[in-house]
Structure 1
C-alpha cells in the first residue's frame, strides 16, 4: 500500500508567534466546552500563521508506556501525556506534567480554566506570559464537597493573580473577579455554530413533533433547575413533550425526584452526543429550557441562540445577559409553567423570540468574532503590547 503523508511532529519554533494551550483534555473535542473551544481556536490560529501546541491527556492502563509523544492534527502540534489514573487525581497529574513540560517551549501559555491555577506559579517564575480563561464561579456549585469548594476557591484566586491576563467569558464573571481579587479582566464570550436547518427525520426515534416539544440539554443536578422545569411542565397535560437530555443514575436521590415528578409527556432519552441529532433537537424545539443558576456564558445556552431557539431560562444575571431581551425568565415553578403555556398557545410569540435569539447570537457569539478576539489578545500579549481590560 502507498505510504500516507508524513506527519509533522516537530514542536513549534520560536521564529513565529506561538501559543501553548493547556487545561483541556485535548483535541479533537470529545469531552466538554473547553475541548470544543480548543478544537476551534487551534486550527484557526494555525491558519493565521501561528505555531500552536495543544496538550492532550491520554488515558492509559497502569504499567503502560508513560513517555510523552507528539503528532499533528490539522496543523496543530499535539503533545500527548499518558495518564494512568482516572478522575480528578488524573486531571491534576496531567495539568502538572503539562505545566512542567511547557516551561521549556516558546510562546504564550493559554490556560483554559483555573482548576489547577496554582501550577501557573511555575510559569511565572520562569517569566512566561500566561493568559487564563477563568471559566465560571466553580466553588459556588452545590454539587461539590466542602474540600472541593475550598480547592476551587484557592485556585480562582491563584489564577487571578498568577495570570498576566485573565479572560472572563461573561461581564458578571469579570465583575466577580474584580470584587474578590481586585483584578481587571478581558471579557470574551463563548461561541457557537449557526444552525439554519436540520434533518427532521432524526427526531422520529424520539417520538417528538417539530415545534411541539421543549428540550433541556444539561447535567441533571439541582443547580440546573431540572426538577423545577419538570414540575412546571407536568402540572397539567400539554399535548406536547418535554425532552430532558442527561444521564440518570438509579442511586442518585435527586435523579429519582426528577423522575417521580415527571408526567407521561416527559421523556428521558439519556445523554445524546450525536451532533446531527442534537442539531435537529435544537432547531425544531418550541423552546430551549435553561435552568442554570451559576456560571458565565454557558455553551449550551449560546448553542441554543445559534439555533434560533426561544429560551425559557432561570432568572439570574448570567442568563439575562447571555440570552438577552425577547426571551422568557423564571424564578419559580409557576412562572416557568406560565411561559410554557404562553409559547404553546402563541406561535407568533415563539417567532418573535426566535428572531431575538438570532439577533443576540449575531451580536456576540459567532465563532469568527470570538476567535478573532482571542487572536488579537494573544498577539498583543506575545508582542508585549498593552492589553485593554474592558468589554
Structure 2
C-alpha cells in the first residue's frame, strides 16, 4: 500500500505538532511494510530524498516570500504532485490551506483527514479569516472519505456539526527514562528550580497570561520560554517582559533529548493551549514525568483529568507558582 502524507512543513520535525505526528507515523508505517511519501517544503532544513525509509518529496513553498498566503500555494503544489502518483491513501494533516483544493484530490485515492482543532476559534484571526476557516472546515468534511479526531471533544463537535462519525485516534508519546541533568548546564538552570512552557508564540496558547502570572510572583526561580519569537506576537512578548530577569526566552529547540530533560527537571510545566484537540507537546510533558499546570478547558481536561493543576488567569498562575 502506498500512502502519502500532506499538510505539514515536512520531516524531520522543525516546526510543530503535525510535523511531529508525520515524523513518528511515517517511520512507524515503513517499519510495518508500507510505502510512505511525506511532502516537505522546498526550503525545509532536511534536503535528502529519503529519511528512515520514508520517501521525501520537496515542493515549492512561497511562504517565506509572501507569508501565510504561500501555504495555500504550497498545498496546491503538493496535491498537484500527488495527482501524478498512484497513491492508495492520502492523509491530510489539517485542512486550513488545503481543503480549498479538495476538488483536485485524486478520486481513485482514499482521502483521510485529521481535522485538527477548531481553527476558526483562534484569537489571532479576524472575523473574515474565521469565516473562511469555517468554510475550509466544511470543505474538508465534504471532500474526505474518512475523518480523524485526535480528541473526544473534537470528535463530538464534528459529529454534532456535520453528522459524520470521525474515528478517534489519540496521540501517544515515548516514555522518557534517560534523564541527564548536565543538559541543563546550557541553559543556566538547576533541577527543579525553574518552570517552563513550550509553545508557538500565539495568543491562544496563553503565553502572555502565563508570563503575567510569573511577573506577579517572586519565587527566585527562572521561567524558561521555549518557542520561536520571530513573529509579531513573539516580538511583542519579548519586548513586554524584557525587564523581568527571571523570564528567559530560549527560542525554538527541536532536540528531543534536550526538550525531554528540560521538561523532566522542571518544577512545573505550563501548557496554555486553548484550541483543541490534543497537542503532542502536552503528551511529551506527561511522558517526561513533568508536573503539569494546564489551561482550564475541556480539551486539556479530557487528557489530564485530575492529574494536573489548572489555571484560567494570570492570578491563577501566580497562586500555583507561589505554592
Aligned to 1:338: 319
Change (3 A) 1:157 1:251: closer
Do 1:192 and 1:299's aligned partners in 2 also have CA atoms closer than 8 Å? yes
**Which structure would you say has the larger Rg?**
1
Aligned to 2:159: 178
Do 1:301 and 1:323's aligned partners in 2 also have CA atoms closer than 8 Å? no
In the alignment, structure 1 residue 139 sits paired with structure 2 residue 117: no
Post-superposition CA distance 1:258-277 (Å, at most 9, x none): 416x7432222333333332
- Measure how far apart 1:202 and its partner are: 1.9
Choose which of 305, 316, 321 in structure 1 pairs with 2:286.
305
Aligned to 2:179: 198
- Measure how far apart 1:289 and its partner are: 0.6
Aligned to 1:12: none
Residues 91-130 of structure 1 aligned to structure 2 (within 5 Å): 91-104=71-84, 105-115=86-96, 116-123=98-105, 126-130=107-111
Choose which of 12, 25, 29 in structure 2 pairs with 1:41.
25
TM-score scaled by length of structure 1: 0.74
Residues 253-264 of structure 1 aligned to structure 2 (within 5 Å): 254-255=236-237, 258-259=240-241, 263-264=244-245
Choose which of 199, 204, 221 in structure 2 pairs with 1:218.
199
Residues 233-382 of structure 1 aligned to structure 2 (within 5 Å): 233-248=214-229, 252=233, 254-255=236-237, 258-259=240-241, 263-342=244-323
Aligned to 2:57: 79
Do 1:18 and 1:108's aligned partners in 2 also have CA atoms closer than 8 Å? yes
TM-score scaled by length of structure 2: 0.88
Aligned residues: 316
Do 1:70 and 1:80's aligned partners in 2 also have CA atoms closer than 8 Å? no
The runs of 5 or more residues in structure 2 that have no matched partner are none
- Measure how far apart 1:157 and its partner are: 0.9
Change (3 A) 1:268 1:100: closer
Change (3 A) 1:59 1:248: closer
- Shifted more, 174-183 versus 130-139: the winner is 174-183
Aligned-partner SS, 2:74: helix
Aligned-partner SS, 1:40: helix
Q: Distance in 1 between matches of 2:231 and 2:52?
A: 41
- Measure how far apart 1:254 and its partner are: 4.3
- Shifted more, 80-89 versus 175-184: the winner is 80-89
Q: Distance in 1 between matches of 2:56 and 2:109?
A: 20
- Measure how far apart 1:128 and its partner are: 2.5
Post-superposition CA distance 1:161-180 (Å, at most 9, x none): 21111001111111121232
Q: Distance in 2 between matches of 1:74 and 1:236?
A: 46
Aligned-partner SS, 2:284: helix
- Measure how far apart 1:96 and its partner are: 1.3
- Shifted more, 24-33 versus 296-305: the winner is 24-33
